[in-house]
Structure 1
Amino acid sequence: MSEAPLTLQGPAGPLEARLLLPEVPPLGVAVVCHPHSLHGGSLGNKVVHQTAATLGHKGFAVLRFNFRGVGASAGAFDAGVGETEDLLAACAAVRARFPGVELWLAGFSFGAYVALRAAPACAPARLITLAPPVNLFDFDALPAPGCPWLLVQGEDDELVPAAAVRRWLSGQARAVDARFLPGVGHFFHGRLNLLRQTLEQALFDSS
């Protein structure tokens, strides 16, 4: 695999990004969204990086990018609204670059909220939400995506209680492939290999 920096045109100005490419024509393309912009979230986050690497090793092209106001991306934090617009612009860019292949959408923490917000307009072939902060944002107002949906949540998450995620899931009309990981906190400290294994098993073992 190889990874290169690039700049996307976003609705608030340039967006800093990195594109991971497999050595063969990609099976699909994935866009991975980072955690909260005001709390150190960026495309360099280790959970985002691990997710991108896992998908890349499975033959996907993977785009990581900084939301508005993070790193070299123009603009200012917009509580998920503008970030959703950023994500839709990123999805449009990769669809133009990789026509005819599936688009997968993934997000960690705040990025999971943004990914779920964008899913109806982006229409991904698959959605991946990691530690979605259902207790911090209004997830109840978001419609379910019209695609297969994987959710990965740590049982020992100190920021997003697993019980809160279970309560929210119980109200979802659409089936969600929910994987609750014992001994895992919000940032997957020391458990990135378990995250990789979980993603591989959930997304690829049955294919």
Structure 2
Amino acid sequence: MPEVIFNGPAGRLEGRYQPAKEKNAPIAIVLHPHPQFGGTMNNQIVYQLFYMFQQRGFTTLRFNFRSIGRSQGAFDHGTGELSDAAAALDWIQSLHPDSKSCWVAGYSFGAWIGMQLLMRRPEIEGFMSIAPQPNIYDFAFLAPCPSSGLIIHGDADRVAPEKDVQGLVEKLKTQKGIMITQKIMPGANHFFNGQVDELIGECTDYLDRRLAGELVPEPAPKRIR
């Protein structure tokens, strides 16, 4: 798994990158939790998501946001980190111009950044938001959410309480043309202590079903002329 350094908006960014064998393989980017609370690309959940995508033939990238590890720059409260994620996608697409589709997976703070990236990049066709925090971060930009995806969280999460995540899910589920899949893990806290394998199993099951052509949203009803 090559260590890579690529240019970001505030200096160099450090990542781990695994190209797929197929030239036109889809791309997956995995985004880590909050940089000021110990989040890095080597977080266990981020690491396992990376391998989940890689094992399914994706060209896969995880990287450190600015100020973490060997990534340059200073923490920028989400604005700069979104620019980092966009630069990371630009970089990997420049190496894989034949790749037509992309997935983004983010955990906690990374889920918020990932959903914003989704709004900017129409080639992102699927997302995984793990323990998003709508009680802390504003998700109002999802108007409308352009892609189907998975929102997974625990019912014992005190950092992102279940009722707040539920409100976000219900809002997104009113949108036509996409399918939001929600998984609530019993007993899981924000860090999925003791339940990381179960979490990755749920994410794997979702990805496999999507790749098999399942979980397709119902077509919008045709208007009668």
TM bin (shorter chain): over 0.9
- For structure 1, which runs of at least 5 residues remain unmatched after alignment? none
Superposition deviation, residue 202 in structure 1? 1.0
CA contact (8 A) 1:135 1:164 kept: yes
**Separation (CA, whole Å) in 2 of partners of 1:158 and 1:53:** 28
Give the paired residue count.
204
> What stretches of structure 1 move > 4 A for 4+ residues in a row?
none
Aligned residue runs from structure 1 range 36-185, under 5 A: 36-101=34-99, 102-123=101-122, 124-172=124-172, 173-174=174-175, 175-185=179-189
The amino acid across from 1:107 in the alignment is G
Identity of aligned residues (%): 31
Write the letter of the residue equivalent to 1:104: W
State the match for 2:217 in structure 1. none
CA apart distance, 1:158: 2.3
Matched-pair contact (CA < 8 Å) for 2:116–2:141? no
Q: Secondary structure at the match of 1:104?
A: strand
CA RMSD of aligned residues (A): 1.5
Q: TM-score, normalised by structure 1?
A: 0.92
Shift of residue 15, structure 1, vs aligned partner: 0.3
Distance 1:181 1:144 in 2: 26
- Larger radius of gyration between Structure 1 and Structure 2: 2
3-state SS in 1 of match to 2:153: strand
Specify which of 190, 196, 199 is matched with residue 186 of structure 1.
Answer: 190
Q: CA deviation at 1:203?
A: 1.4
User: How far is the alpha carbon of 1:149 from its aligned partner?
Assistant: 1.6
CA contact (8 A) 2:151 2:169 kept: no
Structure 2: which amino acid aligns with 1:29?
A: I
Structure 2 runs not aligned, ≥5 long: 213-225
Q: Which amino acid aligns with 1:100?
A: D
Q: Give the Cα separation in 1 of the matches to 2:117 and 2:209.
A: 27
Secondary structure of the 2:140 match is helix
CA shift, 1:183, in A, is: 1.8
**Superimposed CA distance per residue, residues 112-137 of structure 1 (whole angstroms, 9 cap, x where no aligned partner):** 00111121212212111111011111
